[in-house]
Amino acid sequence: MVGIAGDRDAEDDTESPVKSSPAELLRPVRGTLGLGVSIAAVSALLEFVPYIAIVEIGRELLRDDPGSVWGWAVVAVVSALLSFLLSWTAVAVCHRADAHFRFTTRRDVARHIGVVPIGWFLTGGSGRVEKAVSDDVKTVHTLVAHVIPDLTTTALAPVVGITYLFIVDWRFALLLIGYIVLVAGLGMSRTRRAMEAYGPAVDEAQETIAASTVELVDGIAVVKAFGAVGRAFDRFVGAIDALVDATTKWMRALGNPMNFMLSALAPGTLVVVISAMGLVQLDRGWIDVGDLVAFLAVGVGLPVSFTKLSRFSYPIAAAGDATTRILELLAQEPLPASPSPKTPVDASVEFDRVTFGYDPSEPVVRDVSLRLEPGTVTALVGPSGSGKSTLASLVARFFDVDGGRVLVGGVDVRNIDQGVLLRQLSIVFQDVVLIRGTIADNIKLAVPDAGDADVEAAARAASIHDEIAALPNGYETVIGGVDGANLSHGQRQRITIARAILSDAPIVLLDEATAHADPDSEAHVGAALSELLADRTV
């Protein structure tokens, strides 16, 4: 990371609006999504018409008046066709809303991470961003593009069916609904108890097998070297056995209530139940045969909708969790910007009674004061964890201090525009950071309009030109591609040094830049650093 510019395109100057709820996150697509839901609702209503048509056809046949049968048949076919077309249209509209949602959400995340402190990424923020823009947005995609239109249709169908049955005969409707609710209540109660009893054991077994898998795969070299393959494999097999045992108990406990519900609400069972209820009411003169036909045609299908609704519980819960993580990311506090930024007057660096801790209650550095004069080299020496890298990160304002001040060029870094501050700095870390692109792109990362001659001059100064030129594609070799796969750590480090040389920043921060280098690479890196450090504050 060298000379990162803080400028953004003019169209990105306005921050994304603060979003504190899923409804606000979906606000940009609310209109399109509402249209899709409305179309799905009409589709659900039309989907129910064929059932009414069947009932009316039955009534006509019972009255021995088949004259209207063909009319109802046409109504059934046309409504079914329109329902299908509208259902397809609703899904297409919701997919359009989803595409816009994914674009706006990823754009908002990209804008927001441009204003949060860089240090946030060093403390786990990078993983949260990756999960938000990839996994979480994809999870919400399932909700927006699929669950919402399907849920609308599935939820509306039983409402329409129940309303229709109440119109036919409210007493019969109450009996049928009471039966369905009783069966569902008994089954769900037992299912919940099974989840509470056996779910934690399954989760624990899954965590154990995940840890065993990582141990076996990632640590295979060490495990083999010390002859412990058998023990590691035994632990892996033991974890699988534990998962199978826990899952078997869980499935058995869930299977009984689920089988009970599926059997008690199966179409065949409901035909028997509805017929029994209907015959009693027919005998008492409460309903006629046409009413019984209506309940047989419509009532049998009611539990199907309730069963479908249960399938939406997991994607809805998963989307809720994903939305929460996206909102937490967008709620991350941005780096405070000074209302009246100032420009450094020279390349000096000063710590004025600086205190800082990643947890403010546990300072890593306390009351540190020192001054780095322009053109001098200052080395921080100390054991691991003593705060050397922390002090370097405070110069770049990866974090804001808890007490005191860090000054660059006589100006508190909090009063310097972030882009201006980072253009004063060249940073070379021990952990090399290269972007996926060509070697030339990596060298001119801080100076994107640099010419080929300037890039080559920087590479020569960093003692890496000859090795780049020897590659099949030279400076056009793609880092991360096949051609770039064999670059050593020392070569990659010298590419970052060439990047720093090209940026020509007056202040250089080196964080154990040769820590991972072998003796030969260290000599090359040392020569490259000599070019970089000349006449700079280091």
SS3 readout for 188-235: HHHHHHHHHHHHHHHHHHHHHHHHHHHHHHHCHHHHHHCCCHHHHHHH
Average pLDDT value for the chain = 80
Whether the per-residue pLDDT at 448 is higher than 80: the answer is yes
Give me the pLDDT at residue 517, please: 58
Q: Among 335-339, 449-453, 457-461, where is mean pLDDT lowest? A: 335-339
Give me the pLDDT at residue 408, please: 94
Strands 403-408 and 411-412 turn out to be: antiparallel
Whether the per-residue pLDDT at 424 is higher than 50: the answer is yes
14 versus 149: which is more confidently predicted?
149
> What percent of the chain stands above pLDDT 70?
83
User: What value does the mean pLDDT take over residues 341-346?
Assistant: 91
Strands 365-372 and 411-412 turn out to be: unpaired
Q: Among 15-24, 32-41, 486-495, where is mean pLDDT lowest? A: 15-24
> pLDDT band at residue 20, thresholds of 50, 70 and 90?
low
Can you tell me the distance from the alpha carbon of 538 to that of 525, in angstroms, rounded to the nearest whole number? 16
395 versus 18: which is more confidently predicted?
395
Q: Among 11-20, 185-194, 199-208, where is mean pLDDT lowest? A: 11-20
386 versus 9: which is more confidently predicted?
386
Q: Among 80-84, 139-143, 195-199, where is mean pLDDT lowest? A: 195-199
Give me the pLDDT at residue 276, please: 92
Please tell me what DSSP assigns to residue 359.
B
Per-residue buried b or exposed e for 166-200, using 16+ beta carbons within 10 Å of the residue's own CB:
eebbeebbebbbebbeebbeebeebbeebeeebee
Can you tell me the distance from the alpha carbon of 35 to that of 45, in angstroms, rounded to the nearest whole number? 16
Give me the pLDDT at residue 64, please: 67
Alpha helices in 364-477 (DSSP H): 388-395, 418-423, 439-443, 452-461, 465-469
> pLDDT band at residue 483, thresholds of 50, 70 and 90?
very low
Whether the per-residue pLDDT at 74 is higher than 70: the answer is yes
> pLDDT band at residue 229, thresholds of 50, 70 and 90?
low
Please tell me what DSSP assigns to residue 505.
-
> pLDDT band at residue 101, thresholds of 50, 70 and 90?
confident
- pLDDT tens per residue, range 130-154: 777 777 787 787 778 877 888 787 7
DSSP-assigned letters across all residues of 140-195: HHHIIIIIHHHHHHHHHHHHHHHHHHHHH-HHHHHHHHHHHHHHHHHHHHHHHHHH
Can you tell me the distance from the alpha carbon of 98 to that of 106, in angstroms, rounded to the nearest whole number? 12
> pLDDT band at residue 225, thresholds of 50, 70 and 90?
low
The answer to whether 427 and 380 have CB atoms below 8 angstroms apart is no
How many Cα atoms within 13 Å fall on the side-chain side of residue 456?
Answer: 8
271 versus 21: which is more confidently predicted?
271
Give me the pLDDT at residue 15, please: 41
> pLDDT band at residue 93, thresholds of 50, 70 and 90?
very high
Give me the pLDDT at residue 6, please: 34
User: What value does the mean pLDDT take over residues 251-262?
Assistant: 78
The answer to whether 160 and 45 have CB atoms below 8 angstroms apart is yes
Whether the per-residue pLDDT at 403 is higher than 90: the answer is yes
Give me the pLDDT at residue 61, please: 76
User: Which residue type sits at 379?
Assistant: A
DSSP-assigned letters across all residues of 99-126: HHHHHHHHHHHHHHHTTS-HHHIIIIIH
